[in-house]
Amino acid sequence: MAMANFLALFLLMELIAGGYRDGANGLSMNYYVLSCPFAEPIVRNTVASALQSDPTLAAGLVRMHFHDCWIQGCDGSVLLDSTKNNTAEKESPGNLSVRGFDLIDDVKGQLENQCPGVVSCADIVAMAATEAVASSGGPVYDIPKGRKDGRRSKIEDTFSAPAPSFNASELVRAFRQRGFSARDMVALSGAHTLGVARCSSFKNRLGDPTMDSDFSKTLSKTCSGGDNAEQPFDMTRNNFDNSYFQALQRKSGLLFSDQTLYSDPRTKSIADGYAMNQATFFLDFTQAMVKMSLLDVKEGSKGEVRSDCRRIN
């Protein structure tokens, strides 16, 4: 009995220590286990409740995480508002599809009441994305926590983000520069299984003879409503599944940067594999998302924990 108690105590201490033991970039899965033990349940429950009311919010939250991490690393910079002397990232045309800023504010307010100055906005964004994926029927996965919030957010920094007009070679090169393989890139592109794009992002594809004829007619009809008219990426816009890749097989990729994945032999076989095996897609997606969540994280004096996600301290 004494040995059992000792082992239980030892495992508990290991768990607690794991919250402070340095992992990749100083992060750990149990980072808030003592300092804010209800952090993850608060994020999870608040996001899940919001998605029950508005399932379309999932796509915005996943994109928020990606757009945050790609620019200056995962540091909550996408949340900062513009000021008199600075136009922030969120004003970029490429961030028009990012949604959920009010939800992040709600979560942050709850966490500040529970444990002031502890949980970063960058971590909230990262955790919200994981819950958005899981709540939409996608894989359940965890990410390390402990990111600090950045102090820089400039619209010009967003110009380096991959564009909807990129071909496969440009996508492979852009992602490789950030440490991702071609397989990672295709898996992350699968996040387009959620949400919509505006006509302004795909009108250059109208009349493309390589596109499925019925899909071409659908896009033309959508764009008759103007540049802001929206079209889902696939037939299950609120479900996280492999329908996106099946659409590529039917020559019905919405953006040029989507369909190009099926035009290049380096990426076509990967897309085919995901279209045939959703479990493989889910596994590769989670691994790529964890990798993305570790991009250029801020530590120590290089960052802060904002009290208001829209403003630096």
162 annotated among ligand-binding-site residues: yes
73 known ligand binder: yes
Catalytic residue among 63, 65, 67, 198: 67
Known binding residue 234? Answer is yes
Q: Is 149 annotated as a binding residue?
A: no
Annotated binding-site residue? 89: yes
Tokens of 251: 């020559």
Q: Residues with Cβ < 8 Å from 147, sequence gap 6 or more?
A: 27, 74, 75, 76, 120, 122, 123, 126, 297, 298, 303
Say if residue 75 carries a ligand binding annotation: yes
CA distance 287 to 62: 15
170 marked ligand binding residue: no
Does 207 belong to an annotated binding site? Answer: no
Helices 278-292, 265-276: inter-axial angle, 10-degree rounding? 120
Q: Is 131 assigned to a binding site? A: no
Q: Consult the annotation and say whether 144 binds a ligand.
A: no
Q: Across the strands, what pairs with 83?
A: 86
Q: How many Å apart are CA 195 and CA 226, to the nearest integer?
A: 18
Task: Give the contacts of 93 (CB within 8 A, at least 6 positions apart).
Answer: none
Confirm whether 65 is a catalytic residue. no
Question: Which DSSP string corresponds to 62-117?
Answer: HHHHHHHHHTTSSSSGGGPPPBTTB--GGGSGGGTT---HHHHHHHHHHHHHHSTT
Whole-angstrom distance, CA of residue 43 vs CA of residue 22: 23
C-alpha 258/C-alpha 210 separation (Å) is 13
Short-list 9, 11, 29, CA closest to 19? 29
246: helix, coil or strand? Answer: helix
Binding-site residues for heme b, in ranges, read: 192
Binding-site residues for substrate, in ranges, read: 162
Catalytic positions, please?
67
Binding-site residues, in ranges, read: 68, 73, 75, 77, 89, 162, 192-193, 234, 241
